[in-house]
Structure 1
Amino acid sequence: MISVVILGAGNVATHLFRVFNKTENITVKQWFNRNLKSLDHFKNSVAITNDLAALTDADIYILAVSDDAIADISGQLPFKNKLVVHTSGCVNIHDMDKKNRRGVLYPLQTFSKAAPIDFSNVPICIETLDKKDYLLLKQLALSIGSPTKRVNSDQRKVLHLAAVFVNNFTNQLYRIGHEITESESAEFDLLKPLILETAKKVQNMSPYMAQTGPAKRDDKKTIKNHLSLLENNHHKEIYNLLTDSIKLTHGRKKL
């Protein structure tokens, strides 16, 4: 049985608790957060605390907190030589206090508390300074059904950066698309099959090969027409920026 203490109450922490709590060989011994109100919903399922000095003994302490808080909290932990890991995509493993054994358990996926998640679709990127700690974290990840990959801090940082492009920025483009359809009372739902097909394509071919549309074809009249339809100048800037990027990628525009 692997014993865990979770620190933090955000999206990642909540989903980790849910999956750990229903996994036979993992026990969540305690859940810490500065604001206990955030954990009220779970107080009958796990011991909760807002006092770092009251942390119980466990095999792994998971810092599922904001990037800026990781170094500070790791330095405040009231013990030594325990395995302490964070879940961040861009914080270096050496940013944590070296009084404890350090590791990273980075789930490469988007998490929202209200959206269910299947951890078989959540690659876990693992980094440790000790081989035994790596094997323990791998066992933890495999216990929840996640595929694992050993990565170093530099690899994790570029994966996180790429994730911002393919997830956060893409989601913002969905939002802009929603605003555009709403301007003429068109149904955004009609675009959902297209969104799914676009995501499905890159499972089997490169994004370069999957690219279609007026920018790749250099359809000047269509591009001009689209720009004339956009009333929001910010949307125009984004359209022009991405159009130029596609043209550059596909040889329609010179540097």
Structure 2
Amino acid sequence: MIKIVLIGSGNVATHLYNAFSGASDVEIIQVFARTQSSAIPLAVQISNWQYLKEADLYIISVSDDAIAEVASKISFKNKLIVHTSGTTSIDVLPFERKGVFYPLQTFSKEKQIDFSVVPICIETNQKEDENILQKIASLLTPKVYLISSEQRKALHVAAVFVCNFTNHLYQIGAAICEDNAIPFEIVKPLITETADKIQNLAPKDAQTGPAFRGDEKTIQAHLEFLTNSEYKTLYQFMTQSIQHHVKKL
């Protein structure tokens, strides 16, 4: 049985706690958090780092800016200590045994996640520890990848484009619908189909729309309709970007 201490109580920590709680061969013996969390019953608020329990694996799941500070509080020797950041290098951890355990997914505490379809990217500085993380990650998902810090940084940038930026566009689309008394529900099948297409097509082959077709009349009509300067600027930029990529095809 591998004993795990989870440090953090945010979205990622909460979902890891839930996933590990249902996994075999691992046991979360403590959740150490800067703030109390009702979502993690085992969580204890940090008051004294001397209360940190001894375990086989410590998973630091806090904001990127706090990783180094949290790591500096761990005094145990010869223990495997990892963080869950998509951007932060493995080298931020000042330990002999260190690694990264990065689940590539968007996490909200209010929505359950099926970890069996979540890719987990791992990195260590020792082969033996790589095998340990591989085993632990495999308890949650078959999608386990060995990814270096530089690759992970690129992956995180790509994830921001396909997830965070895309969701922001959903937000703008919802606002436009709301401003014009249109139920956002109407465009949800379009969102679903767009996401579903790239399961079988390369994104470049799935692109459609007036910018892709070079339909300048429609583009101008849309720009005239948009009164929000921020939306108009974004529309123009996205249109130009699509057209630039079309010329490359």
* TM-score, normalization by structure 2: 0.96
CA deviation digits over 1:84-128, x for unaligned, max 9?
A: 000000000011113x41100000010000011000121000000
More deviation in 88-97 or 73-82? 73-82
- Structure 1 residue runs of 5 or longer lacking an equivalent are none
Match of 2:83 in 1: 86
> Is 1:114 aligned with 2:110?
yes
Looking at structure 1, the residues matched to 89 and 43 of structure 2 have their Cα atoms a distance apart, in angstroms, of 30
Match of 2:33 in 1: 33
> Is 1:53 aligned with 2:50?
yes
Question: Over the residues paired in the alignment, what is the CA RMSD in angstroms?
Answer: 1.3
Q: Which amino acid aligns with 2:205?
A: M
* Equivalent residue in structure 1 for 2:40, among 39, 42, 52: 42
1:251 positional shift = 1.3
Q: Which amino acid aligns with 1:183?
A: D
Match of 1:4 in 2: 4
CA deviation digits over 1:128-149, x for unaligned, max 9?
A: 0011111111111111134100
> Is 1:176 aligned with 2:172?
yes
Q: Which amino acid aligns with 1:7?
A: I
* Equivalent residue in structure 2 for 1:105, among 101, 107, 110: 101
1:41 positional shift = 4.8
CA deviation digits over 1:174-222, x for unaligned, max 9?
A: 0000001111111111111111111111111111111000001110110
1:49 positional shift = 4.5
Paired residues of 2:4 and 2:29 also in contact (CA < 8 A): yes
Q: Give the total of aligned pairs.
A: 247
More deviation in 237-246 or 68-77? 68-77
User: In structure 2, the residue corresponding to 1:205 is in which secondary structure?
Assistant: coil
Paired residues of 2:86 and 2:102 also in contact (CA < 8 A): yes
Paired residues of 1:227 and 1:236 also in contact (CA < 8 A): yes
- Structure 2 residue runs of 5 or longer lacking an equivalent are none
Looking at structure 1, the residues matched to 169 and 39 of structure 2 have their Cα atoms a distance apart, in angstroms, of 34
Paired residues of 1:126 and 1:138 also in contact (CA < 8 A): yes
Segments ≥4 residues shifted beyond 3 Å: 40-43
Looking at structure 2, the residues matched to 243 and 97 of structure 1 have their Cα atoms a distance apart, in angstroms, of 46
Identity level (%): 48
Looking at structure 2, the residues matched to 233 and 192 of structure 1 have their Cα atoms a distance apart, in angstroms, of 25
* TM-score, normalization by structure 1: 0.94
